[in-house]
């Protein structure tokens, strides 16, 4: 009995069934169930947005920074750090005028809006 179990398990893992047999259909059904019923959160491989994005406007430019880029930076050093990040990303000299946190409905920082001038 135990030998038959291990033999069946080995055949299942190695997919050693003829096409059209009921065992083959069960293996295919299990694979399809895994593909379509597995939650996306288990894999955590969703694409990430850019950390620094230039937003061109009519009155100059703004730059959006991801919240993790300025996490733990004191308010007094936030302007200098934002300036370094923006100049490093775009390779041009910018003057950072203002760094304003963007808050979500729970009052947590979801990003920073940095106003820059060329």
CB atoms within 10 A of CB 39: 6
Q: pLDDT tens digits for 91-103?
A: 878 888 889 888 9
Backbone angles phi, psi at 103, to 5 degrees: -105, 140
**pLDDT at residue 36 in the model:** 92
pTM: 0.55
Q: pLDDT tens digits for 37-51?
A: 998 878 777 666 678
Domains of the chain, by residue range, sit at 2-42, 52-117
Q: For 82-94, what is the mean pLDDT?
A: 84
Token look-up 């096409």 returns: 19
Q: For 54-68, what is the mean pLDDT?
A: 78
Closest CA to 93 of 108, 105, 83: 83
Q: For 53-76, what is the mean pLDDT?
A: 81
Q: How many angstroms separate the CA atoms of 101 and 36, rounded?
A: 39
């Amino acid at each position: 009995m135990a030998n038959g179990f291990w033999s069946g398990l080995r055949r299942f893992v190695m997919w050693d069934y003829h096409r059209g047999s009921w065992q083959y259909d069960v293996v295919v059904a299990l694979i399809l169930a895994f593909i379509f019923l597995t939650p996306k959160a288990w894999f955590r491989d969703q694409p990430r947005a850019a950390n620094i994005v230039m937003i061109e406007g009519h009155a100059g430019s703004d730059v959006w920074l991801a919240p993790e880029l300025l996490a733990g930076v004191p308010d007094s050093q936030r302007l200098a750090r934002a300036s370094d990040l923006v100049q490093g990303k775009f390779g041009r000299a910018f003057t950072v005028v203002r760094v304003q946190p963007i808050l979500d409905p729970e009052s947590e920082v979801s990003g920073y809006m940095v106003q820059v001038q060329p």
